[in-house]
Amino acid sequence: MFHTGPPVVSVHPSRAMVDEAFKVQVENLPPGSPVTLHSLHQSEDKDYWEAFGHYVSDHRGTVSVADYLSCGGTYTGKEAMGLLWSMRPVPGSREGLRLRKLNVCIPQLVNISVYSGHVGGGFREQDSLASVLTERWYMAPGVRRIDIKEKGVRGTLFIPHGPGPFPGLLDMWGSGGGLLEYRAALLASHGYASMALEYFNPAEVNTAELELNYFETAFNIVRDHPQVMSDRVGLFGLSLGSVVSISLAAWSSVVKPRCCVCISGNHTHAPGGTIGGVFNEFFTNLHKVRMDENNYEIWRGMGLPIPDDISQKVDVGKINCPILLVNGDDDQNWPTVESAEDMAQMMRAAGNEHLLTRLEYPDAGHLIEPPYSPHFRATKFIKDGQKVILLWGGTTKPHSDAQEDSWKKILAFLQQNMYSSSGPRAKL
Amino acid sequence: MDMKQHCMKLSVQPSRGLVDEKFTVMVQNLLPGFQLTIHALHQCEDGHSWEAFAHYTADATGIVNVSQDPSLGGTYSGVEPMGLLWSLRPAPGSKTGLRWRKMNVQTPMGVTISVYQGHQTEGFLDQVLLASVVVERWYMAPGVRRVPITEGRLTATLFLPSGPGPFPGLLDLWGLGGKLVEYRAALLASHGIASLALDYFTPKKTGKMVDNDYFETAYRVLEQHPQILGSRIAMLGLSFGAGLTLRMAVYSECLKLSCAVCISGSHVQPIDGPLEQIMTYYNKNVEKTHFDEDNQLIWRDLLLPFPTDPSLKVDVGRLECPLLLIVGEDDQNWPSYESAMDMREMMERAGNSHLLTVLSYKNAGHLIEPPFMAFTRASSFKTATNPPFTMMVLWGGELVAHSRAQEDAWRKTLVFLTENLYGDMKPDASFSNM
């Protein structure tokens, strides 16, 4: 038996954007040895997240995660990125955690280790055979981050490197509130001057900006920026942010978006185009909230049935730009698929259905985030000053596939509608 | 015109890479036949600007892919995936004799890659800039730890790879320029080898040069480190450092090397007495050096012709570990090629030539460094000796051949080190088919 040197684990690229795939490899193992690949990340909140897969090395003592099958762990099968998307809080963590990067100027650090044997837990107590650190970035080199506090609008603008001008995006999250920059930073890294918009303080519903006017002003800040192409500014939203986008696209006489990307949105939240209506409606429908066996709150009933009366919905027949709807059919937070179906019918009747593209993913939940993000099936939410746990839905593997697939299609949709020299086209 | 600005997409993958990793530069959504110039700009730590550029024409699909398409002119031509880096040269108007080196390895080298309309050759700041991205090139992989070492009165920096270890170790030496040059050690640590960059001139300001015990102290730092495998330590030296590496590898009772890499070095040196004798020997022969027509110093004749006195050559016939010699055949600074041939003869006579691998590169010069860095044929050089000498030194080499040599030599150096440090422990584990 030769004395071989120590095993080596490598990740290529070692520094990557969060939406870029990597290759994880282990070399110098004894042939045919069972090993566990493990990923570990400590969040900004100091919680630990991990994932792991069970492998057997080949005759050369190599394991290639991109090419070989995991036969156990937090993911199975041939999954190049399983060590990221299947991450979950380590045993003993607080309940209902969600992983979100707040400081986008520095990378997310993930430690990839290899352990001897097929290990199912207790990684902290064991010595790994080898480990390597990898960096995952939300901001490409040269992207500029600018704090925006003007005309009452609060946000952060990310501008790609280069002379410009660039197409612009207004990026809006949901009813958790606060200022979340990571998706806007990532979109800027793909060439879109993107402003992450804060429209209420975290969990403080009564600080919410309720008038369309706030969003119109925000849109114009992007549009009027010297490095933004004023006729190519779009809207990007998730959840309540999608509701805002749909409302603006249909109702605003001021805002003319070039296109809209709406993830897990709906057209029934804001009847008559008043976002303020959202919260009134919310409180009147609380009785429709159901609890699952874990006491997690299922809100989707609040959105059903979809009203027939047009005055109870955003008149999507008035939208005159391409709109991409991305939804998961296991969305437990809102009946987004039913809403999308109704929107399609309304647009068919109005004659603008050619502007609509629907992407629906089986067994995906509400929080469809950039690819390789862990899946959050249920997380803490502050409702009315109370901490509850909301069920977002989805099963990890299909939800992760949805994140990966939808992001590719979203980028292609944006490229087509915002960068192409011909006029905007709805169909991908 | 506007149309192209809106459509065109410039990308460099990866946007953050190690300095020895290749990247792919692509421009898409162009009109077929569109002429453009891709330009690279880097501002080094001293504030000097370095630039490179190449002319391309979009193909029928409207794409320019630097890795696949030929440059029609510029600072490089033909298909050269990394030409934008290795052909970097000081911007017009810069002072002469510059050499590009990164001294702070904890920050990346930033390169701005831009696209200009048309086939431009100068005055880029006044041209129509179509797109631009920033690329980061790192010497340290994530997780690599930089540890300054001062024990034993060493001036050194240890770079530990990411992870628990233990790792093989390496002693990294540069030449007569002195200073603590960290970038190669940082890069080797990024490839899994715990590397100690050693400054062997600065520490003692007594006017006396360090001696063997300095290197032995450095070796022991590696050998005794809890995260380093004491039985798997290599030594790598360039130029004067290569000569010292040969000396230690053969004569040191303390250093037990798994292998040695000597770049642009020579075995010709007085082997008896302190290291200072080497400087005395050089000084005696200094009138053999001469200046070329550009007033650049050619130093190689200092050691030529080779002496016949055996006390003036490291007896490489006594070497017991694998040795990789890397030489440029256009080395104007040192007779490294001739030394390599002489060493091979000595080892063949002694019967240990199976340990030897020689990589000899036509038209490559003295400074064979990690790949994809700006090439320097001649530069202003200040020695760290006492007293110091400053002069314009001719290193030699031709841009394309030297850059290719660096890429090839680095790859083979990593394979050599990996095989000897990470592979099985057979004593004659060498590779002869390179």
Q: Tell me the pLDDT tens digit for each residue of B379-409.
A: 999 888 777 888 999 999 999 999 999 999 9
- Cβ of A13 within 8 Å of Cβ of B16? The answer is yes
Looking at residue B3, what is its pLDDT?
46
Residues of B in contact with A111 (CB under 8 A): 143
- Cβ of B133 within 8 Å of Cβ of A142? The answer is yes
Residue A206, judged by CB atoms within 10 A of its CB (0-12, 13-18, 19+), counts as exposed
- Cβ of B162 within 8 Å of Cβ of A131? The answer is yes
Angstroms from A182 CA to nearest CA on chain B: 18
Is residue A131 within 8 A of residue B162, CB to CB? The reply is yes
Helix boundaries (H) for A67-200:
82-85, 182-189
Looking at residue A204, what is its pLDDT?
64
Average pLDDT over residues B350-356: 98
CB neighbour burial string for B139-152, b if at least 16 within 10 angstroms, e if fewer? bbbbbbebeebeee
A194 catalytic residue (yes or no): no
* pLDDT tier for residue B204 given thresholds of 50, 70 and 90: low
Give helix A212-223 / helix A240-251 axis angle, nearest 10°.
80
* pLDDT tier for residue B422 given thresholds of 50, 70 and 90: confident
Catalytic-role residue among A39, A57, A239, A400: A239
Give helix B212-224 / helix B240-251 axis angle, nearest 10°.
70
Angstroms from A33 CA to nearest CA on chain B: 18
- Cβ of B16 within 8 Å of Cβ of A135? The answer is yes
Q: Residue B142: which of A8, A127, A134 has the nearest Cβ?
A: A134
| Long-range contacts at A125-130 (CB < 8 A, ≥ 24 apart) | A127/B164, A128/A38, A128/B163, A128/B164, A129/A6, A129/A7, A129/A9, A129/A29, A129/A35, A130/A6, A130/A7, A130/A8, A130/A9, A130/A26, A130/B163, A130/B164
Q: How far apart are the C-alpha atoms of B289 and B56, rounded to whole Å?
A: 44
Is residue A256 within 8 A of residue A207, CB to CB? The reply is no
Looking at residue A428, what is its pLDDT?
42
- Cβ of B142 within 8 Å of Cβ of A5? The answer is no
How far is CA B220 from each of CA A1, B161, B213, B261, rounded to the nearest angstrom? 29, 19, 10, 19
The dihedral formed by the CA atoms of A256, A259, A264 and A265, expressed in degrees to the nearest 10: 20
Average pLDDT over residues B114-125: 92
Residues of B in contact with A113 (CB under 8 A): 163
User: What's this model's pTM, rounded to 2 decimal places?
Assistant: 0.92
Looking at residue B54, what is its pLDDT?
98
Nearest chain B residue (CA) to A417: B7
Q: Residue A14: which of B110, B142, B425 has the nearest Cβ?
A: B142
The dihedral formed by the CA atoms of A403, A191, A259 and A425, expressed in degrees to the nearest 10: -90
Q: Residue A162: which of B133, B424, B426 has the nearest Cβ?
A: B133
Q: Residue B3: which of A107, A165, A421 has the nearest Cβ?
A: A421
A41 catalytic residue (yes or no): no
Angstroms from A203 CA to nearest CA on chain B: 36
Q: How far apart are the C-alpha atoms of A417 and A410, rounded to whole Å?
A: 11
Query: What three-state secondary structure class fits B373?
Result: coil
Residues of B in contact with A6 (CB under 8 A): 165-167, 229, 422
Catalytic-role residue among A54, A225, A269, A366: A366
What's the average pLDDT block by block, 10 residues per block, for chain A (428 residues)?
71 96 96 98 97 97 98 98 98 94 97 97 94 97 97 96 95 89 97 94 64 92 97 96 94 94 89 62 80 94 90 92 98 96 97 98 97 96 85 97 98 93 52
Query: What three-state secondary structure class fits A121?
Result: coil
Q: Residue B423: which of A4, A15, A107 has the nearest Cβ?
A: A4
Is residue A247 within 8 A of residue A261, CB to CB? The reply is no
Nearest chain A residue (CA) to B424: A4
Chain B residues with at least one Cβ partner in A under 8 Å: 3, 5-7, 9-10, 14-18, 21, 29, 110, 112, 114, 129-136, 138, 141-143, 162-168, 190, 192, 229, 232, 421-426
- Cβ of A5 within 8 Å of Cβ of B14? The answer is no
Q: Please, what's the largest Cα pairwise distance for chain A?
A: 79
Is residue B96 within 8 A of residue B420, CB to CB? The reply is no
- Domains delineated in chain B: 9-138 (2.60.40.2240), 145-432 (3.40.50.1820)
Q: How far apart are the C-alpha atoms of B64 and B70, rounded to whole Å?
A: 9
Tens digits of per-residue pLDDT, B283-308?
899 899 999 999 999 999 999 999 99
Looking at residue A422, what is its pLDDT?
59
- Cβ of B141 within 8 Å of Cβ of A14? The answer is yes
- Cβ of A28 within 8 Å of Cβ of B424? The answer is no
**How many contacts, defined by CB atoms under 8 Å, are there between A and B?**
108
The answer to which of B207-221, B366-380, B392-406 has the lowest mean pLDDT is: B207-221
The dihedral formed by the CA atoms of B23, B27, B28 and B33, expressed in degrees to the nearest 10: -130
For residue A35, the one-letter residue type is V
Nearest chain A residue (CA) to B132: A162
- Cβ of B422 within 8 Å of Cβ of A14? The answer is no
Report the Cα A222 to chain-centroid distance in Å: 22
Residues of A in contact with B133 (CB under 8 A): 140-142, 161-162
- Cβ of A4 within 8 Å of Cβ of B110? The answer is no
Average pLDDT over residues B91-116: 95
Looking at residue A268, what is its pLDDT?
87
Write out the catalytic residue numbers of B: 239, 331, 366
Catalytic-role residue among A19, A171, A330, A331: A331
Q: Is the ipTM of this complex over 0.85?
A: yes
Q: Residue A132: which of B110, B130, B163 has the nearest Cβ?
A: B163
Question: Is the predicted pLDDT of residue B430 greater than 80, yes or no?
Answer: no
Structure tokens, B28: 């898409």
Q: Which residues contact A305 (CB under 8 A, 6 or more apart)?
A: none
**Any CB–CB contact under 8 A between A144 and chain B?**
no
